[in-house]
Structure 1
Amino acid sequence: MNAAITPTRAEPVEAPLFLPALPGGVTRLAPALLLLVLFAALLGVAVGSAAIPPGRVLAALAGRGDDIERAILVELRVPRVLLGLAVGAMLGLGGAALQGYLRNPLAEPSVLGASNGAALGAVIALYFGLAQAWPWVLPLLAIAGALATLALLFTLAGRSESPLTLILAGIAVSTLAGAGISLALNLSPNPFAAMEIMTWLLGSLEDRSFRHVLLALPCIGVGIVLLAGQGRALDALTLGEDGAAALGVDLAATRRRLLLGVAIGVGGAVAVSGAIGFVGLIVPHLIRPLTDRSPSALLWPSALAGAALLVLADVAVRVIPTTSELRLGVVTAFLGVPVFLAHLMRERRLW
């Protein structure tokens, strides 16, 4: 009598950090998104409070023309656009990766507390006056806050690989960081310090320089590399933890890379832009109908769309007529609420 043949469990394998092969939906969508990113970048350089004709813009970027116009374009607008592209790409990619990993359509970097942790680190630098004495302390403490949040998240979640455990731990960590921010505002030594903290928390790319670009890009680059290479693992997780493990996905390694990517990338982004919400929530929902809806097909398109969306939102805050420039976080919040409500109503109909 033949012995019963039992299926064997595949040995866990780690997904590569970077996957050069892109899903078919991505290759079809990429040219349109790249053109949108290019259009947003050109618009971000050309549009501002100081009207500069296109011909003089090109002359200034080529190193000719008026010195004041060249200073406005090269020292103010170009760094602002570069940061908008980098921060938007990181937030969009982070939202797509977390929605795929947690199988939660409302997930974004703030769900795991990374955004609030980075914000708390920056608020500490502002509260104690460290940012005025040493400007580089602000981004460093923001990144340290995001990493500390990650460490606490790992401690609370323990060895659990359940998305629900991570979400609950993330909510606890995010609430704790938010309480720290509120405490700093409540005990602020003077109203000017409180105003500075509130202004930073609203999010903005105003008055950013190449120094901020150099501080943020390494962290954002590391975050993008860690997140963008997890497409196969995220596709396998659509079958559940057991199904993904049977296909050979190392769940612990996947979780480690995703959380590190979110913490480092979002920490670097928040350090220079302040707290900008809803980009990670909006972008995947806008891109998903244009793809095959698999998590891997959302990653790179979400990065490109996030970059374009944030730069276009930053252009909007410059051209909307107000007595003082609107904060970028306010605009993205107004864009994100309708998407959130639309998804909520759709889910309500399914109930």
Structure 2
Amino acid sequence: MERVTRARLVGGLALLALLAGAASVAVGSAAIPLAHVVRALSGQGDPIERAILFELRLPRAILGLAVGAMLGLSGAALQGFLRNPLAEPSVLGASNGASLGAVIALYFGLAELHPAMLPIVAIAGAFAALGLLFVLSAGSQSALSLILAGIAVGTLAVAGVSLALNLSPNPFAAMEIMTWLLGSLEDRSFSHVALALPCITLGMVLVAWDSHALDALTLGEDGARALGVDLRRTRVRMLVGVAIGVGGAVAVSGAIGFIGLIVPHLVRPMTDRSPSAILLPSALGGAALLSFADVLVRVIPTSNELKLGVVTAFLGVPVFLVHLMRERRLW
């Protein structure tokens, strides 16, 4: 792919993500005219409108961009690393492990002790899933063994979540867990941003660290070794980055699916299809898609605000099927 074309793609997606972030700040249940938004940005205007914009909508917009970017980037990196077009964080059990950790924090009341407990336990759940993944795939660097071990770990985590729901002491606890599992960025504040953003930033750096190793892996594991790629270090960095980043994202957003799966497939035809060329566009595309989905949940007229995970699922399945029918070729 020519550099000018890649620059246009990245620039276009970056502009789309900025527009999505701006829409997330401007759109909500309380209608605020654009002129009032401009006055609020200059430090003037109605104090209530400023509070809505800066204390409610701005943190939500930042989290929408950050969580979407993490999910899109991790999906693209895992698809390249595992050489599997269906790979995403849940394939390796990372997001399911983080979900189980967050459910444990909610079930035992740990989340009420301190705001940091929920992301800490969610990341611990992701690392526990990662540790079990290494144990199950010990001695093998095969992508297939990682996928099979990840399916087992993810299934075990889902079973743990189901057990927590089944044993919930009261229906309100079960409802709180179910609400969180549906995914949402509603009522998020800058404290959530402060908790999640460092994890997401570190996770993205670690995931994108071995971009050229992903290109080498297209030649197979033996070919990558011949080019000097240390598969063990690459795998450790990749999985630790996914655990930290996805754990931090899931802790504040709940379980949100399909972003990491469909975004790489949407941007891949506009690149040279090499794994490294897809990483940055997937991060920007994920940020834009999740942010626009979050705007959508606010504008659809319903008695209760729709959950973000529900909207991404309804958006993701048709888009993925249409793209699959259009491609009709091996990835």
TM-score normalised per structure 2: 0.96
**Counterpart in the other structure of 2:145:** 165
**Counterpart in the other structure of 2:268:** 288
**Counterpart in the other structure of 1:241:** 221
1:343, distance to aligned residue in structure 2 (A): 5.7
Q: What amino acid is aligned across from residue 299 of structure 1 in structure 2?
A: L
Is 1:279–2:265 an aligned residue pair? no
Superposition misfits of 4+ residues, deviation over 6 angstroms = 346-350
**Counterpart in the other structure of 1:126:** 106
**Counterpart in the other structure of 1:138:** 118
Select the residue among 147, 158, 164 that pairs with 1:178.
158
In 2, distance between residues paired with 1:236 and 1:302?
A: 19
Cα 1:344/1:33, change in 2 over 3 Å? closer
1:27, distance to aligned residue in structure 2 (A): 2.5
CA contact (8 A) 1:120 1:180 kept: yes
Q: What amino acid is aligned across from residue 266 of structure 2 in structure 1?
A: L
CA contact (8 A) 1:142 1:271 kept: yes
CA contact (8 A) 1:23 1:297 kept: no
TM-score normalised per structure 1: 0.91
CA contact (8 A) 1:157 1:166 kept: yes
CA contact (8 A) 1:61 1:74 kept: no
Q: What amino acid is aligned across from residue 91 of structure 1 in structure 2?
A: L
Return 5+ residue gaps in structure 1 as ranges: 1-21
Q: What amino acid is aligned across from residue 35 of structure 1 in structure 2?
A: L
Match of 2:17, SS state, is helix
In 1, distance between residues paired with 2:137 and 2:327?
A: 28
Is 1:332–2:301 an aligned residue pair? no
Count of matched residue positions in the alignment of Structure 1 and Structure 2? 329
Is 1:45–2:25 an aligned residue pair? yes
Cα 1:342/1:301, change in 2 over 3 Å? same
Task: Please list, as runs of the form range in 1=range in 2, the aligned pairs for 1:7-18 lying within 5 A after superposition.
Answer: none
1:254, distance to aligned residue in structure 2 (A): 0.9
1:139, distance to aligned residue in structure 2 (A): 1.2
Match of 1:124, SS state, is helix
**Counterpart in the other structure of 1:300:** 280
1:327, distance to aligned residue in structure 2 (A): 0.3
1:159, distance to aligned residue in structure 2 (A): 2.4
Select the residue among 167, 187, 196 that pairs with 2:176.
196
CA contact (8 A) 2:266 2:323 kept: no
**1:297-350, CA deviations, whole angstroms, 9 ceiling, x for partnerless residues?**
000010011011110000000000000000000011112212443466578777
Return 5+ residue gaps in structure 2 as ranges: none
CA contact (8 A) 1:25 1:297 kept: no
1:26, distance to aligned residue in structure 2 (A): 3.5
In 2, distance between residues paired with 1:317 and 1:99?
A: 29
Cα 1:58/1:346, change in 2 over 3 Å? closer
**Counterpart in the other structure of 2:12:** 32
In 1, distance between residues paired with 2:21 and 2:167?
A: 41
Q: What amino acid is aligned across from residue 40 of structure 2 in structure 1?
A: A
1:29, distance to aligned residue in structure 2 (A): 1.2
Q: What amino acid is aligned across from residue 153 of structure 1 in structure 2?
A: L
CA contact (8 A) 1:202 1:275 kept: yes
In 2, distance between residues paired with 1:349 and 1:85?
A: 31
Cα 1:235/1:175, change in 2 over 3 Å? same
**1:107-148, CA deviations, whole angstroms, 9 ceiling, x for partnerless residues?**
111100011101101101111122123332111111110111
Cα 1:174/1:300, change in 2 over 3 Å? same
**Counterpart in the other structure of 1:18:** none
**Counterpart in the other structure of 2:85:** 105
What value does the CA root-mean-square deviation take over the aligned residues? Answer: 1.6
In 2, distance between residues paired with 1:205 and 1:302?
A: 21
**Counterpart in the other structure of 1:57:** 37
Identity %: 76
In 2, distance between residues paired with 1:122 and 1:147?
A: 13
**1:208-265, CA deviations, whole angstroms, 9 ceiling, x for partnerless residues?**
0000000001110111101112221001100100111111111111111110111010
In 1, distance between residues paired with 2:327 and 2:11?
A: 32
Bigger Rg over Cα: 1
CA contact (8 A) 1:61 1:73 kept: no
**Counterpart in the other structure of 2:206:** 226
Question: Structure 1 residues 318-327 or 53-62, which shifts more?
Answer: 53-62
